[in-house]
Structure 1
Amino acid sequence: MRALPHAARAYVLCAVLAGAYCAAPAVRPGAAVPWATTALLAAVHAVGSRVRARWPEWCSPVLLAGAFLLPPAAAALVAVPGALLARVERPPAGARRAWRAARLSLAVWAASCAFAALDGPGTLSALWALGDGAQAPAGQVSPGTPGFPYALAAAVAAALVLGLTATALEGGVLVSAERQSPRAAWWGRLPGALAPYLVHGPAGLAMAVLWRSPYGPAAALLVLLPMYVCACGFVLYRRESAAHQATIRALVQAVDIKDRYTRGHSERVGRASAMIARELGMSGDRLEALRIAGILHDVGKLGVPTRLLRKNGPLTPDERRVIELHPEYGDEMVRGIGFLGEARAAILHHHERLDGSGYPYGLAGAQIPEFARVVAVADAFDAMTSTRTYRRARPVPTAVEELQRCAGSQFDPRMVGALTRALDRHGWHAAVTADAPEERGNVPAEPAPPLVRAAAPGASDDPGGPRPGTGGPGGGP
């Protein structure tokens, strides 16, 4: 406990005392507690917590079955052994175990109280009586008595109470121990935290119904088998997703190390690409793929000699041709990364132009993949609104005006319009992406192709972008 802040220690102590107070009626002399059911459910939960310690929520139906089968005080005891025996990865282990036990006990107690308030136990008793041979129409126990649909609704409500209570208590720890803001600790976590309990509620009800059926507890425990399989699948999905994100981070960090002056550029292009995608109605996997496309659009720069990326001065024609190979380098680098999907097309074609004057293949119009047209706009926008060693960032309205002027020749007007609407709605905050000139002492040679400028004074057709003092808009790297 000494490792915890004073506020967190007080919070955990209050939770432990509250949990003990809620469970105390179960151990009073004369309390009518079905100890055999309580002990068996507690043992199953403890085993489940040890088997799948990294995602203990897979055995939440056991806690809910306890909330449905037992009085609230006894239901609060079901979670205690599993919480105390579960593995703890960070110290202080004792305080974390005590906190986990108190949190789950209070959550299960609240769920059991909610189920009782909705007359869930009475409905279950009627269903069990029906299963023992009472005659009644399907879905109805007797006239005026709610049937299984009502019990299901009460179970889902109780499950949501369990999830809400557990999440609210966890948010208090994040605020007191980890100094998170209340908004991040509570509101930011609630939707995702409550969603699984919409499944756990019916599973817990199925366990409770089977527990008192002629088939007994053994049949009830079979409900956990599909939950365990789902838990294993979810853990594998999370590991795969984490591996994907680690792969992307490693590639982006490698690019940032090689071309330091655009540090942060990739992440911002990914953010702008996602803004455009939302305006275009994309969601789910396509939205995430487009965000990744924006982040990785310049990964091919890893194949370009560093001396060219950091060259102080204009590029020669041969050097320009080398730099123009970076989209193809990038495509080759990510060829074996299967989860990128459509993102590969953006990496290869984000320097193509609508009028066919871009590279590497000179595609025009609809020949350019949709993802590439999105990333091209996001790339140029961030390049113009970010500070470089050779020029200051342009104001957002100026950059948008330039994009609109070049729409139809260099950029897809639909993508430019989508970005404009997104910026009007959400705004934009770009950080400085270059080190101070006095720290660098040189000028990078490769911001990506400049925007098309018809007879614009000082504009450059150099794919390395305008050099210091030339004027004209700079594209992304």
Structure 2
Amino acid sequence: MITAALVCPLEFGVGRSPWSQVLVLGALYVACEWLVRRQALSAAGGVETQTRWTAFFPVLLAAATLLRPGAAALVPVLGAVLAPAEPPRALRRAWNAAQLALAACAAAEVFDATGGSSELTQRQFPEVLGPTLLAALAFCLVTALLVGGIRVAAERADPYTVWRGALLRSLLPCLGYGLIGLMMAVLWSSYGGLAAVLVLLPLTVSSWVYVQFQQEEAAHQATVSALVQAVEIKDEYTRGHSERVSRASVLMARELRMAEERVASLRVAGVLHDIGKLGVPTRVLRKNGPLTDDEHEAVQLHPTFGHEMVRGIGFLGEAREGILHHHERMDGRGYPSGLTGEEIPEFARVIAVADAFDSMTSTRSYRRGRPVTEAVVELERCAGSQFDPVMVEALVRAVRRHGWQPAAPTAADEAAPDLPLGIREPRRPAGAGAGGGAAPGTPGTPGSGASGVKNAATRVAR
């Protein structure tokens, strides 16, 4: 609304804007947004999700070529006014309209400044392509700057990583939308608004395809959640642990400036890193006492079990290697493969640090969680031998930037002994050391393969 108040005087002052075009384009944008939102609501089971309706950005870019800057900015604002929503969705929709209004205004200003004309004729081709692409670039830059700025402020994320990712994801689509918007503007100028609407028909189909993709993504997320819930039911130690490891891994990934696609994959790897515990006998996981050699070997095989379980799930991608190797050590004394240094996949090195950090800071019935500062000191002590120093430093930076809230202890945990780090923990549940495996400084048993999985499982099951 503030945006509208700023741009309206510009248009009223000059008195040259075709208000019928503003109203028609605004109504068209509302209709397009309503159509896509209905499809998204259907895909999400009736729950409105935070979705960017980028499939209909050509309407806004067509407005940038047909209208003066202030009038172009009113098109998405009109959409926010006419589209009803309940708080807090209404506030979010108003924000979306405001940032799109500013982007449309900037695009129209660039189009005019670079020689573009709203009177589009055949003689202006191909010269008009340059102003159109520059206008689309301005639209992309403004939206990336504003949306990225919100993320930087809300999540304390690294500005370079956020803005670089936003630009890389939106640059090519915005340039394509600019050309489609130019096509709409040409048809509008030559044959009227009805002909321009025909351009949106293939975009309607593409938005439907995108909604199907969202449904597939939701199914993937439901699969991951079901697997995590199964592990938490079987092993109480992992309750909430997987989500915290995932969160710490994502914070570290942002400090390492990973691409957003890899961050999303790492998030899943962190959630599923202990999925292999489904293959470990429940009595072993819940045993309150020292483990036999066979039981200890069976617990150490949970990364291999996990990899076998998720190997056929195609959408996990790089996450599978993180699940398999998150108990490897830099000095080669980890498991299951005894990898060293850079041989260990990057995802696994990230999860190993996040896993140990959450374990040390979480209170259990057999020992109290340690303060964050003590856990960081322990990680730094083990950097180079057990953990990758780069990953440890990434965690330290993330904790300093965002803070860390350990798991709240339950009533049963209040009587837990206060053991300093490095002291052997008496009668602890199986697999409840740092990260659910070996505590910092404790080597594993490398070299266990598929045959080891079968043999250990057979011996423990007897």
TM-score tier by shorter-chain length is 0.5 to 0.7
Q: Distance in 2 between matches of 1:210 and 1:39?
A: 18
CA deviations over 1:273-318 (Å, ceiling 9, x no partner): 3455556664343343334323211112233343332322222334
> Identical aligned pairs, as a percentage?
47
Preserved contact between residue 16 and residue 99 of structure 1 (Cα < 8 Å):
no
Q: Residues 379 and 184 of structure 1: is their aligned pair in 2 closer, same or farther, counting only changes over 3 Å?
A: closer
Matched, 1:436 2:411: yes
Aligned to 2:55: 58
Aligned to 1:418: 391
Which residues of structure 2 form unaligned runs of 5+?
A: 41-51, 417-426, 446-462
Q: How far apart are residue 231 of structure 1 and its match?
A: 3.0
CA deviations over 1:67-93 (Å, ceiling 9, x no partner): 54357898788679977887x6x769x
Aligned to 2:184: 207
Q: How far apart are residue 385 of structure 1 and its match?
A: 3.1
Preserved contact between residue 319 and residue 347 of structure 2 (Cα < 8 Å):
yes
Q: Distance in 1 between matches of 2:317 and 2:65?
A: 46
Letter in 1 for 2:117: L
Q: Residues 105 and 33 of structure 1: is their aligned pair in 2 closer, same or farther, counting only changes over 3 Å?
A: farther
Preserved contact between residue 362 and residue 368 of structure 2 (Cα < 8 Å):
yes
Which residues of structure 1 form unaligned runs of 5+?
A: 1-13, 133-137, 140-146, 172-180, 455-459, 462-477
Q: How far apart are residue 453 of structure 1 and its match?
A: 5.6
Letter in 2 for 1:437: A
With 335-344 and 71-80 compared, the bigger mean Cα shift is at 71-80
Q: Distance in 1 between matches of 2:103 and 2:347?
A: 49
Q: Residues 314 and 202 of structure 1: is their aligned pair in 2 closer, same or farther, counting only changes over 3 Å?
A: same
Q: What is the correspondence of 1:314-325 to structure 2 with a 5 Å cutoff?
A: 314-325=290-301
Preserved contact between residue 331 and residue 341 of structure 2 (Cα < 8 Å):
yes
Aligned to 1:298: 274
Q: Distance in 2 between matches of 1:306 and 1:224?
A: 56
TM-score normalised to structure 1 length: 0.62
Letter in 1 for 2:305: Y
Q: Residues 155 and 286 of structure 1: is their aligned pair in 2 closer, same or farther, counting only changes over 3 Å?
A: closer
Q: Distance in 2 between matches of 1:218 and 1:438?
A: 69
Preserved contact between residue 33 and residue 53 of structure 2 (Cα < 8 Å):
yes
Q: How far apart are residue 364 of structure 1 and its match?
A: 5.6
Preserved contact between residue 23 and residue 73 of structure 1 (Cα < 8 Å):
yes
1:446 pairs with 431, 453, 460, which one?
431
Q: How far apart are residue 210 of structure 1 and its match?
A: 3.6
Q: Distance in 2 between matches of 1:121 and 1:333?
A: 57
Aligned to 1:342: 318
Q: How far apart are residue 423 of structure 1 and its match?
A: 0.6
Q: Distance in 2 between matches of 1:275 and 1:150?
A: 40
Aligned residues: 407
Q: Relative contact order, CA 8 A, sep 6+: which one is greater?
A: 2
Matched, 1:248 2:261: no
CA deviations over 1:110-159 (Å, ceiling 9, x no partner): 94698379747984156538359xxxxx63xxxxxxx6534654565578
Task: Specify the structure having the higher radius of gyration (Cα).
Answer: 1
Aligned to 1:176: none
Letter in 1 for 2:396: L
Q: Distance in 2 between matches of 1:334 and 1:422?
A: 27
Q: What is the correspondence of 1:38-437 to structure 2 with a 5 Å cutoff?
A: 41=25, 44-45=28-29, 47-53=31-37, 54=40, 56-66=53-63, 68-70=65-67, 111=104, 115=108, 119=112, 123-125=116-118, 127-128=120-121, 130-131=123-124, 139=127, 149-150=130-131, 152-154=133-135, 157=138, 184=154, 195=170, 198-199=174-175, 200-213=177-190, 220-221=196-197, 223-225=199-201, 227-274=203-250, 276-277=252-253, 282-354=258-330, 357-362=333-338, 368-396=344-372, 398-407=374-383, 409=385, 411-412=386-387, 415-424=388-397, 426-427=399-400, 429-432=404-407, 434-437=409-412
Q: Residues 306 and 336 of structure 1: is their aligned pair in 2 closer, same or farther, counting only changes over 3 Å?
A: same
Preserved contact between residue 120 and residue 155 of structure 1 (Cα < 8 Å):
no
- Root mean square deviation of aligned Cα: 5.3
